[in-house]
Amino acid sequence: MNTKDLQYFHQLASLKNFSKVAATFQVSQPTVTVAIQRLEKQFAVPLIVRDRSHHAVELTSFGRQLDRHVVNILNELELAQKEAAHTQMKQVRFGLPPIIGNYYFPSLVPDLLQRHLLARLEIVERGSNETLKQLRSGELDMALLGSLSPLEYDQLAASTIVKMPFGILVAKDSDLAAKAESGVFLRDLKKRSFVALDEKFIHHQAFRRVANAAHVRPRIIYRTADVHVLGALVAKHIGIAFLTSLAAAIDPQTVLIPLLDDQQPLFYISKVRREQTILDGIKKELWQQLG
């Protein structure tokens, strides 16, 4: 079966016009017509119904079903092409969200260096949500991801490495710093100003969950996509912040206070890869070293 035939068919299903499909691929209209005829002969079932009065086509019931399969086939072929290109470079495309990259990944570096794996990583730094999208699209081979529960996704294999609580980051010389040992309830902070990480971070979802459970609407005066900016703002008394304990050492002039609220979420770190990725050579060794 010719993959070009599948591409023509998928575009025909979308554009419903032979001339437009031909123009899209810069081929003649008869080329597209013959491709569709080959597919109909292959499956021995009509795929389209022509509306000659409107110069348009509609898919038959089987045609619509076939198009769903074609989308998956074309997606897998595109992923295979990306994987082949990176296999030639003998590198692993590795996703690493900023907080995990700054405060967890360094603990793995000595072993990766010793096994000559670090130089084989093409590291891509994005938030966990964006990293997940890139894994699914085949832009990444594997990644470390942050989440609020153990990860379970179709077509992805995931394994939890570690989990840790969230807390409230405050300046070391603030009045709240005295609660670093005893902890604090979120309801006791409802009159405080917060600085927060933006929606690209799972902190956004976690903070909202804790706030809803405590029946509190936090007063957020500034959002940022930079974790270090967040720490600096807290150190300068601009506001306090909701942050995973993984990043407790974000700024030497800050301290993380434990949250005492019941049923608060945990910050999970998981290793994740595409389920269909064959683990051999470098990829197998890296997967094992991630924990």
**pLDDT confidence band for 129 (50 / 70 / 90):** confident
Percent of the chain with pLDDT over 70: 96
Whole-Å CA distances, 7 to 19, 36, 38, 250: 15, 10, 13, 50
Same domain, 223 and 200: yes
Same domain, 278 and 259: no
Task: Indicate the number of domains in the chain.
Answer: 3
Report pTM.
0.69
pLDDT given at position 88: 55
Same domain, 233 and 256: yes
**pLDDT confidence band for 92 (50 / 70 / 90):** confident
Q: Does residue 104 fall inside a structural domain? A: yes
pLDDT given at position 89: 53
CATH code assigned at 59: 1.10.10.10
26, with CB counted inside 10 A (0-12, 13-18, 19+), is exposed
Q: What is the pLDDT of residues 25-67, one digit of tens each?
A: 899 988 998 989 988 888 888 988 877 655 678 899 998 999 8
**pLDDT confidence band for 154 (50 / 70 / 90):** confident
Q: Which of 127-131, 171-175, 245-249 has the highest mean pLDDT?
A: 171-175
Q: Does residue 133 fall inside a structural domain? A: yes
pLDDT given at position 87: 61
Instruction: Return phi, psi of residue 273, to 5°.
Output: -150, 165
Same domain, 168 and 237: yes
Mean per-residue pLDDT of the chain: 89
Q: How far is CA 230 from the centre of its chain?
A: 22
Give the range among 50-54, 151-155, 277-281 with minimum mean pLDDT. 50-54
Structural domain that includes position 272: 92-162+268-289
